[in-house]
Amino acid sequence: MNLSNLTDIYSRELFDRVIPFWEKHSVDRVNGGFFNCLDADGALYDTKKYMWLNGRQTWMFSKLYNSVEQRPEWLEIARLGATFLRSKARRDDNRVYFSMTQEGKPLQLQRKIFSECFYIMALAEYSRASGDASAMQEAKNMLELVWEWSSDLSKVGRPSYEGETPAQSLAIPMILLNLIEEVAGENKDEYRSEVDECIRRMLLHVHPADKTVYELVTPDGGFIDSIEGRLLNPGHAIEAGWFLQHWAQHLKRDDLSRTAIDMVRWSYERGWDKEKGGIYYFLDSKGYSPTPLEWDMKLWWPHCEALYAHLLNYSITGDEYDKNAFLQVHEYAFSHFSDPEHGEWFGYLNRNGEVTHRFKGGPYKGCFHVPRALWLVWNKLKEIK
Amino acid sequence: MNLSNLTDIYSRELFDRVIPFWEKHSVDRVNGGFFNCLDADGALYDTKKYMWLNGRQTWMFSKLYNSVEQRPEWLEIARLGATFLRSKARRDDNRVYFSMTQEGKPLQLQRKIFSECFYIMALAEYSRASGDASAMQEAKNMLELVWEWSSDLSKVGRPSYEGETPAQSLAIPMILLNLIEEVAGENKDEYRSEVDECIRRMLLHVHPADKTVYELVTPDGGFIDSIEGRLLNPGHAIEAGWFLQHWAQHLKRDDLSRTAIDMVRWSYERGWDKEKGGIYYFLDSKGYSPTPLEWDMKLWWPHCEALYAHLLNYSITGDEYDKNAFLQVHEYAFSHFSDPEHGEWFGYLNRNGEVTHRFKGGPYKGCFHVPRALWLVWNKLKEIK
């Protein structure tokens, strides 16, 4: 297959099928913010609002406005998201709620930093779209706080217990590295020492001898032989790979670029279901049954991450291996997740590739992974061509 | 099929295949307590100990000792469980940990009351087995505390937020009702007002007009039209049915007995997968896709609950409907979950009935639902015969 033929396919999928779904069904023009629980056809099945997803959608519409076309309706949607977040979702102590009622009354707060991370991402990109400098300042101040919290989660209320094995999670340095990319924009050197620290911590999870990227390791990178230490999340490791690759390119570090390529390839090779196709959600590094009940399901977002990660690798290596991996995921994703009838993608398939959940939006699926991947791939395809 | 032929099948399954698996593989004779993470053949894949499961296994071996045969090895296993629980799992403030290291160092505490509930259940039955009256006193004191906590979960650290819909969960009155049955033993009238209150609260979840048992309702029993309010757990509602039936029999209340029968029948009719067989884990009462990723899986424990609940109904009604429902679950369970090779049952199947997780014990599966159901059914079959 010729990659150049795909540019139009990605453009149509993004602008004709995915973005219109969210424009039409998710926007709450009364209270601001976005509804997230949208059935196959966009019908609302729960009025709760999830702040991870409200932040991510605000980011996405700001990004489209900034990088594709300055459509006033995109800026207005971003504004509705940013205003809801800033006026409702952030508490006096700077914690951001996980979920809220449609009017913006609090429902749940997590003992994690991710609501804050997506809040920061939203405000940084929205500031560029709207020209509202106070949003960027707020994003930078929050990033400083989250940086502090991230190395001591007791600051967001997470208890610790005597028997725990000291451990660090890949999710933390990885999301901070991506956040810095988003907040810094063109001024990438502003956060140089923080970037170095994120990269140092991410590399502790990469074990070349096992060709494995572990989600949880000891603070010096050691393997933890437990349910949690052996748990692999191939889609997450693939995402970490392209986050790292962006910095490897900026820093012009070939060693890091090589590692980022390996992270994607190893995780894909292990995560791809050779019998049924698609990328497993979880695996156990020693081959035990992973304990999450959904381990063998095929979720939309690991496939979104893999699409862009493989194509990014191909744009660097020119290696047919990466191109073929991209095409393999492309075939699977477009034939299984895409919904030509109502737009957006289905999110959840069983191991055999059958849709198990008909909704397009839910507590953890919003306007983010699909349009971000389509936009990144579309841009990269144009570049390669 | 003649029910009397089944008595031996249940006896063999329980005493030759299930109990020996746990006797052989789970007991930690060094530290006391029980390992829970046991692979298909009993091999240990994680050394953590889960206190829900340690409490339940202590209860099970005490119950076998008290009701089947006074085997010294069963009492010794119960003693190892009870001693670990009492010396390691309970904190000074009477909270019980969720998980611990094999030596009994704390790993996790939940903002829920279930660890405490299974601790109480264990100690009450162990007291009868061992003659240790202090264990019964401790169980009764803890029950009083848990009763108090259960009506205000902020006492176990659960935060509440302004936007929340006031709601009550079926799990709470249901487990308290079962706990009282276990703690009271022959002295059932000791807790008469608490029993009445549990029954009152359970009945708020039973909506005859919809033939539905809701997991979450408003404090006056109203339907909540949200993801959480519509979520049905047929196996859980079936279990609630037989918990209630035990009290209906004791209180000689025909109205309650009728309701308990309905709870089981309605939940079974809705929960049984007419196309592929087996009982769904979750459903949405209005037919939306349930948001838990594992909703269409077939788990061992709803089938365990259904086995006993249907047979109990049949012993009361004499109705072929209940007998056939029992036999339908029996056929499915023994042909899908049972493992003649290594003993115990597999726990997790996909919708098609294929084993997705090969382990016999995990963080939420221990020596409890399978042996409890086999023991209850075996006793009931002997009674019917």
A363 touches chain B (CB under 8 A): yes
The answer to whether the pTM exceeds 0.90 is yes
> Is there a common fold for A1-30+165-385 and A31-156?
yes
Average pLDDT over residues A259-273: 98
What's the pLDDT score for residue B112?
Answer: 97
Residue-wise pLDDT tens digits, A75-133? 999 999 999 999 999 999 999 999 999 999 999 999 999 999 999 999 999 999 999 99
Q: Which residues of A touch B46 (CB under 8 A)?
A: 226-227
ipTM of the prediction: 0.96
What's the pLDDT score for residue A188?
Answer: 87
Look at A357 and B100 and tell me if their CB atoms are within 8 Å: no
B356 touches chain A (CB under 8 A): yes
Q: Give the tokens for residue B27.
A: 């007991």
Tokens 């504004």 belong to residue: A79
What's the pLDDT score for residue A341?
Answer: 97
Task: Please give the DSSP secondary-structure letter assigned to residue A43.
Answer: -
Helix residue ranges per DSSP H, chain A: 6-12, 19-25, 51-67, 72-84, 114-130, 133-150, 171-184, 192-203, 227-230, 234-251, 254-271, 300-317, 320-336, 369-384
Rounded to an integer, what distance in angstroms lies between the CA atom of residue A66 and that of residue B204?
Answer: 53
In terms of Cα–Cα distance, which of A283, A278, A307 is closest to A294?
Answer: A283
C-alpha radius of gyration, chain A, whole number: 20
Residue-wise pLDDT tens digits, A222-252? 999 999 999 999 999 999 999 999 999 999 9
Q: Give the tokens for residue B68.
A: 């089947």
Q: Give the tokens for residue B115.
A: 């660890």
HSE of A118, CA atoms in CB hemisphere, 13 A? 24
B287 touches chain A (CB under 8 A): no
Rounded to an integer, what distance in angstroms lies between the CA atom of residue A183 and that of residue B197?
Answer: 55
Query: For chain A, what percent of residues have pLDDT higher than 90?
Result: 97
- For residue A281, the chain B residue with the least C-alpha distance is B293
Q: Is pLDDT above 70 for A1?
A: no
Q: Give the tokens for residue B338.
A: 């049972």
Give the start-to-end residue ranges of the domains of chain B.
1-30+165-385, 31-156
Residue-wise pLDDT tens digits, B157-200? 999 999 999 999 999 999 999 999 999 999 888 999 999 999 99
Which of B288, B297, B358, B365 should we substitute to test contact with A (largest number of A Cβ atoms within 10 Å)?
B288
Q: Give the tokens for residue B197.
A: 């209150």
Q: DSSP secondary structure string, A313-359? A: HHHHH--HHHHHHHHHHHHHHHHHTB-TTT-SB--EE-TTS-EEE--
Look at A109 and B45 and tell me if their CB atoms are within 8 Å: no
Task: Fill in the amino acid letter for B49.
Answer: K
- B271 near B279, Cβ under 8 Å? yes
Rounded to an integer, what distance in angstroms lies between the CA atom of residue A289 and that of residue B356?
Answer: 8
* Cβ atoms within 10 Å, residue A108: 16
Look at A161 and B362 and tell me if their CB atoms are within 8 Å: no
Task: Please give the DSSP secondary-structure letter assigned to residue A272.
Answer: B
Rounded to an integer, what distance in angstroms lies between the CA atom of residue A303 and that of residue A326?
Answer: 10
Average pLDDT over residues B372-376: 98
Q: Which of B46, B108, B161 sits opposite A161 (nearest CB)?
A: B108
Residue-wise pLDDT tens digits, B95-111? 999 999 999 999 999 99
- For residue A106, the chain B residue with the least C-alpha distance is B163
- B5 near B365, Cβ under 8 Å? no
- B271 near B283, Cβ under 8 Å? yes
What's the pLDDT score for residue A166?
Answer: 96
Task: Please give the DSSP secondary-structure letter assigned to residue A278.
Answer: S
A160 touches chain B (CB under 8 A): no
Rounded to an integer, what distance in angstroms lies between the CA atom of residue B216 and that of residue B231?
Answer: 8
Q: Is pLDDT above 90 for A326?
A: yes
Residue-wise pLDDT tens digits, A313-325? 999 999 999 999 9
Q: Give the tokens for residue A9.
A: 């396919």
What's the pLDDT score for residue A2?
Answer: 78
Tokens 């033939």 belong to residue: B211
Rounded to an integer, what distance in angstroms lies between the CA atom of residue A145 and that of residue A147?
Answer: 5
User: Looking at CA atoms only, how far is residue A39 from chain B in angstroms?
Assistant: 8
What's the pLDDT score for residue B114?
Answer: 98
B248 touches chain A (CB under 8 A): no
Q: Give the tokens for residue A206.
A: 């990469």
Rounded to an integer, what distance in angstroms lies between the CA atom of residue B305 and that of residue B299?
Answer: 11
- B381 near B7, Cβ under 8 Å? yes
Q: Is pLDDT above 80 for B1?
A: no
Q: What 3-state class would DSSP assign to A277?
A: coil
User: Looking at CA atoms only, how far is residue B225 from chain A in angstroms?
Assistant: 8
Q: Which residues of B touch A97 (CB under 8 A)?
A: 161
Q: Which residues of B touch A38 (CB under 8 A)?
A: none
Q: Which residues contact B200 (CB under 8 A, 6 or more apart)?
A: none
Look at B363 and A293 and tell me if their CB atoms are within 8 Å: no
Q: Give the tokens for residue B294.
A: 């594992």
Handedness of CA B35, B38, B41, B43 (dihedral sign): negative
Rounded to an integer, what distance in angstroms lies between the CA atom of residue B133 and that of residue B130?
Answer: 8
Which of A288, A358, A359, A365 should we substitute to test contact with B (largest number of B Cβ atoms within 10 Å)?
A288
What's the pLDDT score for residue B104?
Answer: 98
Q: Give the tokens for residue B177.
A: 């009702």
- B20 near B61, Cβ under 8 Å? no
Task: Please give the DSSP secondary-structure letter assigned to residue B371.
Answer: H
- For residue A348, the chain B residue with the least C-alpha distance is B293
Average pLDDT over residues B214-226: 98
Rounded to an integer, what distance in angstroms lies between the CA atom of residue A163 and that of residue B48?
Answer: 10
* Cβ atoms within 10 Å, residue A80: 21
Average pLDDT over residues B345-358: 98
User: Looking at CA atoms only, how far is residue A110 from chain B in angstroms?
Assistant: 11
- For residue A297, the chain B residue with the least C-alpha distance is B293
Out of 1.50.10.10, 1.10.150.80, 2.40.40.20, 3.30.1380.10, the CATH code matching B1-30+165-385 is 1.50.10.10
CATH of region A31-156 = 1.50.10.20
* Cβ atoms within 10 Å, residue B380: 20
User: Looking at CA atoms only, how far is residue B300 from chain A in angstroms?
Assistant: 13
C-alpha radius of gyration, chain B, whole number: 20
What's the pLDDT score for residue A364?
Answer: 98
CA angle (B167, B170, B174) in 5-degree steps: 140
- A94 near A142, Cβ under 8 Å? yes
B101 touches chain A (CB under 8 A): yes
Average pLDDT over residues B379-385: 93
- B140 near B183, Cβ under 8 Å? yes
Which of A103, A165, A293 should we substitute to test contact with B (largest number of B Cβ atoms within 10 Å)?
A293
Between the alpha carbon of residue B318 and those of residues B241, B247, B264, B269, the distances in Å are 17, 19, 15, 19
Q: DSSP secondary structure string, A36-50? A: -EE-TTS-EEE--EE
